[in-house]
Amino acid sequence: MDLHTQIMERLRLKSELSQVQLCLDEFLASFFAPKEHSQMMMLFENLPNGLSQVFKSTLLKDPITPNNQSAIKKAGEKLQEKLATCKTIQITLAFQPNETAIELFSDWVKKNVDGGTLIDLQFDKTIVGGALIVSSGIYKDYSVRKALSNRFRLQKDEIAGLLS
Amino acid sequence: MKNFQFYLTTTEEVGFVEASNHSIVYANGLPQTKLQEIVMFETGELGVVLGLNRDQVEILLFSQYAVKAGTRITRTGMTQEMPVGFELLGQTINPFGHPLDIGKTIEQPKLARPIDIDPSGINTRKRITAPFETGVTMVDLLVPLGKGQRQLVIGDRKTGKTSFLYQTILKQAKLGTICIYAAIGKKKTDIKKVENFFKSAGISNNTVIVAAGSEDPAGVIYLTPYAAMTLAEYFRDEGHDVLVVMDDLFTHAKFYREIMLIGRRFPGRNAYPADIFYTHARLLERAGNFVLQNGSEHSITCLPVVESLEGDIAGFIQTNLMSMTDGHLYFDFDMFGRGRRPAINSFISVSRVGRQTQTPLRLSLHRELVSFLTLHQRLENFSHFSAEAGAGVKKTIEVADRIFAFFTQSATEVKDVDLQLIIFGLIWMEHWQDIPAMEQDIARINQVYSSSIEAQALVKEIINISKNLNELLLDIRKNQDRLLSVLGLQPEQGVSI
C-alpha cells in the first residue's frame, strides 16, 4: 500500500488533512541540505505519531544515506501534490458532532462515495437541524430551517390566523 | 435582484473563490454554469462568467472591492441584462440600470433585455435615406450624415469633440429623437457636466446617460456601451429614432485590454486582445436603419468617439473604428488653435452614406462648397509664397473667410439646415462684404427665424422649389426684399443683391 493510500485511510476530516499538510510542509522544508541518519530520524520522530509510523513504514525500508534522501523528498512532494487534489464533502450541521458521529459519517462517505473523500465539517446552529451538503459544486439543503421556511411560506395565512 | 441565499437554494450550485487578481476571480465548483452567466458572491457582489477551464471558472467581478479566497459563489441563471423602459428617460444610470447618484431612487422598469446580443441580420435593415441633422452648419453642409449612420468622431483632447456632441444631441433631442449618451470611464465631474447641460438645455426628457466613472470596476466600464446600445434597441423597437453617443471607445478598448491581460489572454498588437476588432464591430453593427415587424422604419444612429494622440489618426484602435464605421469627423488640433469652431478638418473627414440622404439642392451646394474650399486651400498654400496675390486670389480668400465665419458657432448653438442654405446663398451672392456686420446679421437672422412662422414658411418655400444652387440663388434674388424683411434685415443694410 502506498503512502497516499495509507494516509487517506487514517484521515477523516479536512481539518485533519490541513494538519498533515502543515507537518509535511515543515518536514520537506528540512531537506535543504543532506543529513546524517540520526538527524533524519529526528525529523521522522518530530512528526505526529500516526504520521510518523506511516512515514517510517513506507520510507525507511533502507538505511538513510545522503544519496537516498532525495528519494524521500520526492515521495513527500508527490504526496503533497496528491493531498492537494483530495476531494471533500462539506457538511454543515446544527451541532458539534462527537467522535463517534464523525467516525460514522466518515465511514459512510468512504464506503458510499469514494475512499479518498474527506469531510469538511461546519457548524451552523441557524439551520436548526438536518444538514447542508456541498460536493463538487452541488449544494443540497436538507436542513430543518428550509423545511420550516417552506412550511411557513405555504401556510402563511393559516399560521397568521392561528396567531391572531 | 434576489439575495445570495435565494439563488443558492434555487440553483443548488455553489463555488468557492480560489484566487483573485484585480477584477478577475478564479473559482471552483459551479458545475453547470455557462459563459456570460451572472454569478453572485455571498458578500453580495456580482460577476459574470468570462471563461470556463477544466477545474476553474473565470469570473469578471463587477465590484471595486476584492473578494476573499474561500468566499462562496452561486449561479443566478441569468445572463447580463439591462432594465429598459421609458422610466429611464432623464436619468443618469449605470449599465445595470441603477442611478449613478448614491441614495437616489428611480422607478425601475419592469422589462429587461440581454446586454450582449448578436446584431440583427440584413433582412431587418434598410438603406439609409433620411438625413440626420446635427445642427452644426459645417457638418450638415460639408459632411452630411444620415439616420442610422455610424459616424466616428475622432480628434485630440480639447479639440471640441464634446461640444459637437452636445450640439448634435441638442438638435436631435429637439427634433424628438431619443438620445443616449454613454460615458465610458469618464470622470464623475464630466458626467455631471453632461447631466447639467441636458437639464439646462431642457432636453432631459429625451435623453438618458448611461455612465461608468473612471473609478468604477473595469467590468462595469466594459459593459457601458453595450448597455447603452441595448437601451437604444428598446426605444427603436418602441417606434423611436435613437441617437447613441459613445464617449469614448478608446477608453473602452483600454479597459477591455486591462481585463483581458489580467485574464491571461494572449496579447496582440499594442497588447490589445486579438478580438478587439470583433468586440467593437459587433457593438457598432447593432446600429443602423431598421425595418420593424410592423413595417415601420426606425434608426439607431451611432456616434462613437475616439481620441487621437498627437494628431495621429493611424493608431490601431482609431483605424479599426474607421474601418467599421460609415465615415468619420476629424477634429484638427491646429484648426482649433487657429480659432475654428468647430475645428473639423473637412478634407480628412468622410461621410460614406450621408450624401445619399441629401436633396438635390443640398448635394449641389455640397459639391460647389467642397470644390471652392479645395480651391481655397490650394490658393492659400500658394499665397504663402507670393508677396502680392492677384485680385482673383484675394477675392477667393475673402469669400472663404466669410464662409468660415459663417461656419463658426458656439458650443450650445444649433442651427436649422434650411436657413443655413439660405444664408449660404446670401454669402455666395456676396450680400455681405464685412465679416463683423455679417456675423451680426446672421445672429439676428437666427433669432428672428426661430420665432417667426412667416420666415420659416418662406425659407421652406424657397428651399422646396430650388433643385440646385443656381436655382436657389435665382429664387433668393426673386424674393429678395420679402426674404430680407422677414428675416429681420432691411435690404439697404447690406449691399444690394
Q: Give the ipTM.
A: 0.79
Dihedral Cα A6, A12, A13, A17, nearest 10 deg: -10
Q: Residues B475-487: what's their mean pLDDT? A: 92
Q: Which of B282, B352, B444, B482 is catalytic?
A: B352
Tell me the nearest-neighbour CA distance from B74 into chain A, angstroms: 9
Q: What is the DSSP-derived secondary structure letter of residue B157? A: T
| Residue B228, burial from CB neighbour count under 10 angstroms (0-12, 13-18, 19+) | buried
Amino acid at site B141: L
SS3 label, residue A138? strand
Residue A35: CB atoms within 10 Å: 16
Tell me the nearest-neighbour CA distance from B12 into chain A, angstroms: 5
Q: Cell triple for residue B417?
A: 439646415
Q: Give the up-direction half-sphere exposure of residue A161: CA atoms within 13 A in the CB hemisphere.
A: 4
Tell me the nearest-neighbour CA distance from B9 into chain A, angstroms: 7
Residue B309: CB atoms within 10 Å: 11
Q: CB distance A138–B13 less than 8 Å? A: yes
CB B358 within 8 A of CB B141: no
Q: Cell triple for residue B194?
A: 453632461
Instruction: Name the residue with cell 479536512.
Output: A14
| Annotation says B54 is catalytic | no
**Confidence at B144, pLDDT banded by 50, 70, 90:** very high
Question: Taking Cα atoms as reference points, which of B10, B84, B19, B82 lies closest to residue B40?
Answer: B10
pLDDT at B496: 46
Q: Quote the crossing angle between the two packed helices B249-262 and B218-237, to the nearest 10°.
A: 130
Instruction: Name the residue with cell 487514517.
Output: A10
Residue A26: CB atoms within 10 Å: 12
**For residue A115, what are the CA distances in angstroms to A91, A124, B22?**
17, 27, 38
Q: Give the up-direction half-sphere exposure of residue B297: CA atoms within 13 A in the CB hemisphere.
A: 11
Instruction: Name the residue with cell 492537494.
Output: A84
SS3 label, residue A81? helix
Supply the pTM of this predicted model: 0.87
pLDDT for B358-403, tens place per residue? 999 999 999 999 999 999 988 877 777 665 677 888 888 889 999 9
Centroid of chain to Cα B337: 24
Q: Cell triple for residue B57?
A: 471558472
pLDDT for B317-329, tens place per residue? 999 999 999 999 9
Q: Give the up-direction half-sphere exposure of residue B351: CA atoms within 13 A in the CB hemisphere.
A: 28
pLDDT at B385: 66
Which residue from B minimizes the CA distance to A138? Answer: B13
CA–CA dist B300, B173 (Å, integer): 14
Question: Taking Cα atoms as reference points, which of B286, B271, B380 lies closest to residue B317?
Answer: B271
SS3 label, residue B165? helix
pLDDT for B125-143, tens place per residue? 999 999 999 999 999 999 9
Q: CB distance A141–B13 less than 8 Å? A: no
Instruction: Name the residue with cell 488640433.
Output: B333
Question: Taking Cα atoms as reference points, which of B331, B287, B270 lies closest to residue B306?
Answer: B331
Pure H helices in B238-291: 249-262, 276-284
Q: CB distance B12–A146 less than 8 Å? A: no
The reply to whether B369 touches chain A by the CB within 8 Å rule is: no
* Bridge pairing between strands B81-84 and B111-114: antiparallel
Tens place of pLDDT for every residue, chain A, 164 residues? Answer: 788 888 888 899 999 999 999 999 988 888 777 777 788 788 888 888 888 888 888 877 777 777 777 888 888 899 999 999 888 999 999 999 999 999 999 999 989 988 889 999 999 999 999 999 999 999 999 999 999 988 888 988 888 888 88
Q: CB distance A137–B15 less than 8 Å? A: yes
Q: CB distance A136–B15 less than 8 Å? A: no
End-to-end CA distance of chain B: 69
CB B401 within 8 A of CB B384: no
CA–CA dist A129, A142 (Å, integer): 9
pLDDT for B63-107, tens place per residue? 988 899 999 999 999 999 999 999 999 999 999 999 998 888 888
CB B144 within 8 A of CB B352: no
Dihedral Cα B101, B104, B105, B111, nearest 10 deg: -10
pLDDT at A156: 87
CA–CA dist B354, B325 (Å, integer): 12
